[in-house]
Amino acid sequence: MKRDDSQNRPSCFGDLDIVFPLRSDGFRVTPISCLQCVHKTECLRTAMGRSKGFKVREEMIDRAYRGGVIGFFQRWSEKKNIDRLKRKRSSGEP
């Protein structure tokens, strides 16, 4: 883990592909090296707050739907909400 001395954070800070990678079985898991990092919570929040975080949320919704945890209308509603958030972010609204 390289350090970025300008902000005293690791260079991997907020990179979703590093801090919450997709495994071959289709699940995302935080690596042990990240669990030991003092920046882990802020880092993961930052990563999930970026555009790739929407994809992770959609993956979670789809997995819950396939598993029968949520129904069609809840899945549709949550995906629509994510789409609204994406559009809001891309248009620069607060």
Tell me: do 29 and 64 sit in the same domain.
no
pTM of the model as a whole: 0.75
pLDDT digits (tens, 9 = 90+) for 36-94: 999 999 999 999 988 899 999 999 999 999 999 999 999 999 999 999 999 998 887 65
Are 3 and 35 part of one and the same domain?
yes
Which domain range does residue 62 map to?
51-94
Are 20 and 1 in the same domain?
yes
Closest to 80 in 3D by CA, of 54, 56, 47: 54
**Claim to verify: residue 43 and residue 62 sit in the same structural domain:** no
Please report the pLDDT score of residue 2 as a whole number. Answer: 55
Question: Could you give the number of structural domains in the chain?
Answer: 2
